[in-house]
Amino acid sequence: MDARYIWQTYLLTGKDHNLNGAELVLQRNVTLMCGEHHDVHNAVEVEDWKWNGPEVVRTSLPDDVLRQIKPDSHGMIHYE
């Protein structure tokens, strides 16, 4: 899904062609993890492809809560 996001958001739209290498590495990782039989190209580049696996939900804290967390020495905010 990360390779698909990069492909559709940055490469296909021309916003950032510098991410081509990152997208190719992600596609290669899919092949290594899922095997040669898995059609990576179809999952990444076909416009009407649909995920048939389990629903994935990513949640984040609200912005006002994130602003209250003190960043580490590198400026990164960590939370569980």
The model's pLDDT over 33-72, given as tens digits with 9 standing for 90+, comes to 888 777 777 777 777 777 777 787 778 888 898 889 998 9
Residue 39 lies in a domain: yes
Residue 15 lies in a domain: yes
Residue 65 lies in a domain: no
Residue 33 lies in a domain: yes
pLDDT digits (tens, 9 = 90+) for 1-33: 788 888 888 888 899 989 889 888 888 888 888
Q: Provide the domain limits for residue 38.
A: 2-49
Long-range Cβ contacts of 68-76 (<8 Å, 24+ apart): none
pTM for the whole structure: 0.53
Q: Is 62 helix (H, G, I), strand (E, B) or coil?
A: coil
Distance spanning both ends of the chain, measured CA to CA: 23
Count of CB atoms situated within 10 Å of the CB of 20 = 13
CB 17 within 8 A of CB 11: yes
| Domain count within the chain | 1
Residue 9 lies in a domain: yes
Residue 73 lies in a domain: no
